Amino acid sequence: MTLPQHVVPSLVGVVAGATVTVEGDEAHHAVVVRRLRVGESVMLADGAGAVVTGEVSATTKRSFDVRVDQVDVRTEPTPTVTVVQALPKGERGELAVEVLTEIGAARIVPWGAARSVAIWKGERAAKSHAKWQSTAREAAKQSRRAWHPVVPPLAATAEVLALVGGADLAVVLHEDASEPLSALAVPDDGEILVVVGPEGGLTDDEVAALVGAGAVAVRLGDEVLRTSTAGVAAVAALLARTPRWGGR
């Protein structure tokens, strides 16, 4: 059985035999809710490639200590995947973030597309962004990721176009596209970027701008997927053709 993962700010310089203290809400949930006890084995990660395993040596209600047995520093998997996710309505945004994290996205960028029903402004923007970040953090822990995804603040369309221009391969999912995703050549490294539109779809102007910035408009198949699941389907189809998933 895979050990439970807990997140700490940094594991830089930690070696076998050292003691790492986990504090705050992370520790409170582990000790009070999960009933973590002295003697149990756990995994700690800093979300930036470092993972340690060890045994719990002490606990309080707001902290626990881990005596480190093993240290593993992992390089970030390549190609990296960035998903620009147009804001869905309701809780579908958190669902999209959860599954994209589980499948290995390195960056999940919220975007207020023209037809997005949800609007992030003011206090709501801060709360919604924090919720996406929290969802990504918990999903990364559940999937035992060494590298946790970055969820930046809401991006404007100009910022999305800049991201498209900087990617090694950028695709925009569009149900009316003539080219299938399966026809694309997928790079072995670098960055892959996937743009996912909202429930109402992307406007013609948005598609034209994205293609003009360097994206390829592609379709997944005859079925029309929800915005919360289209991204994970596309990322899976792309990663299956890279060394990350044994595609080469």
List the chain domain ranges. Answer: 5-73, 80-245
- Where the chain has pLDDT below 50, the residues are none
pLDDT at 221: 85
Determine contact, residues 226/89, Cβ cutoff 8 Å: no
Q: Which residue matches tokens 């053709």?
A: 241
pTM of the complete model: 0.94
What is the rounded radius of gyration, in angstroms, for the C-alpha atoms of the chain? 20
Q: Indicate the pairing of strand 19-23 with strand 5-7.
A: unpaired
pLDDT at 2: 84
15-30 burial string, b = 16+ CB within 10 Å, else e? eeeeebebeeebbbeb
Assign a CATH topology to domain 5-73: Ribosomal Protein L25; Chain P (2.40.240)
- CATH number belonging to the domain at 80-245, selected among 3.30.910.10, 1.10.3720.10, 3.40.50.2300, 3.40.1280.10: 3.40.1280.10
Q: What is the pLDDT of residues 35-71, one digit of tens each?
A: 999 999 999 999 999 999 999 999 999 999 999 999 9
Q: What is the pLDDT of residues 137-150, one digit of tens each?
A: 999 999 999 999 99
Determine contact, residues 195/163, Cβ cutoff 8 Å: no
Determine contact, residues 76/92, Cβ cutoff 8 Å: no
